[in-house]
Amino acid sequence: MSVILGIESSCDETGIAVVKNGREVLANELASQIDVHKIFGGVVPEIASRQHTKIISQLVAQVMDSIEEPIDAIAATQGPGLMGSLMVGLSFAKALAYSWKLPFVPVHHIEGHLFSAFLGEKAPEFPFLSLVVSGGHTQIIQCHAPHHYEILGTTRDDAVGESFDKVARLLNLSYPGGPSIQKAAATGDPTAFDFPRAMRNKGNLEFSYSGLKTAVLYALQEGEAKVEDVAASFQAAAIDILLIKIKQAIQQTGATQLVIAGGVAANQLLRDRTTTELDIEVFLPPFKYCIDNGAMIAAAGHSRFEHGLFGDFGTTPNPGLPLQAS
């Protein structure tokens, strides 16, 4: 039994939440910086850290004022992410832990995404297979036990979320690209363009998304193309390759449960296809916990707390923190 305060600040979202027993969200606040970065078409690191600094005290106060139960530990994202952004949340968490005399728990951002699956109505049970699809990651991970992971496949270049963002820019759609491409695709023809499904016949669980973005660029250069058709055809290809690889991973591992997490897990086509086409129990986080948030960090922090995996005041942010070593 534990009540954990979770702090997420790895990129452009300041997420603060309190979660009980890794499952029950008692309070959740999120300050998105999308509007500030929108005009640049992507996240500007220095602006991101300044925004976190501006808002973090107020959000923590808001969350703490709304709960009655005492906090047992403070968890914060240690990495991966942007150095300045990570530093704001991690330093804040360490200072709070010191002044409140509570344990401090560093959390790997991707482990946070994995634990967002525990915030839904039903929770997975270890061991399970997972697909992490976000702005910086496209990975198939075998989750053997809490904090014991094996990366079975990853992207060789762009992440799938990154390709949504880059293609949205090519199509003059707004940032972040995922939601705006999904919206445009709703009225487009997904068969209008036959975009490549890279690595489909390689027999491994690796991904590559940079060729897909280039194929979209060439299609646009070739002549008149309806934005909606390009968006729908791109989305179809981007999601199709995820399904191809995950089916292969299920066959390879014999897994019976699959967790899909990360910002792209909010994509409706991916949600629909994975719940209807796969012969496996699928766990999708509730929409609001797909993108970065504090609740997922608190949920992962709960498990780390229960396993005695604490940090100390010497714990520093690590923008390239590997999952297995965390």
Torsion of CA 97, 149, 135, 316, to 10 degrees: 30
Contact with ligand ATP (CB under 6 A) among 22, 84, 135, 146 = 135
Counting contacts by CB under 5 A, is residue 134 touching Mg ion?
A: yes
With contacts defined by CB under 6 A, name the span among 69-77, 83-91, 215-223, 264-272 that binds ligand ATP: 264-272
- Which of Mg ion, ligand ATP, none does 161 bind, CB closer than 5 to 8 A by kind? ligand ATP
- Which of Mg ion, ligand ATP, none does 264 bind, CB closer than 5 to 8 A by kind? ligand ATP
With contacts defined by CB under 6 A, name the span among 117-125, 173-181, 217-225, 272-280 that binds ligand ATP: 173-181
- Minimum CB–partner distance for residue 153 and ligand ATP (Å): 15
- Is residue 170 within 8 A of residue 157, CB to CB? The reply is no
Fill in the amino acid letter for 209: Y
Pairing of strands 138-145, 128-133: antiparallel
The side-by-side arrangement of strands in the sheet containing 148-154 is 148-154, 138-145, 128-133, 257-261, 281-283
Helix (H) or strand (E) holding 226: none
Rounded to an integer, what distance in angstroms lies between the CA atom of residue 4 and that of residue 104? 10
With contacts defined by CB under 5 A, name the span among 70-78, 148-156, 196-204, 285-293 that binds Mg ion: 285-293
Counting contacts by CB under 6 A, is residue 294 touching ligand ATP?
A: no
Counting contacts by CB under 6 A, is residue 292 touching ligand ATP?
A: yes
Counting contacts by CB under 5 A, is residue 8 touching Mg ion?
A: no
Nearest to 289, CA basis, from 137, 128, 119:
119
Contact with ligand ATP (CB under 6 A) among 128, 164, 234, 305 = 164
Nearest to 73, CA basis, from 54, 98, 110:
98
Rounded to an integer, what distance in angstroms lies between the CA atom of residue 275 and that of residue 271? 6
- Is residue 154 within 8 A of residue 181, CB to CB? The reply is no
- Minimum CB–partner distance for residue 289 and Mg ion (Å): 11
Contact with Mg ion (CB under 5 A) among 170, 292, 295, 300 = 292
Rounded to an integer, what distance in angstroms lies between the CA atom of residue 25 and that of residue 119? 7
Question: Which stretches of the chain bind ligand ATP, using CB under 6 A?
Answer: 10-11, 81, 109, 113, 134-137, 161-162, 164-165, 176-179, 182, 262-264, 266-267, 291-292
Question: Which stretches of the chain bind Mg ion, using CB under 5 A?
Answer: 134, 292
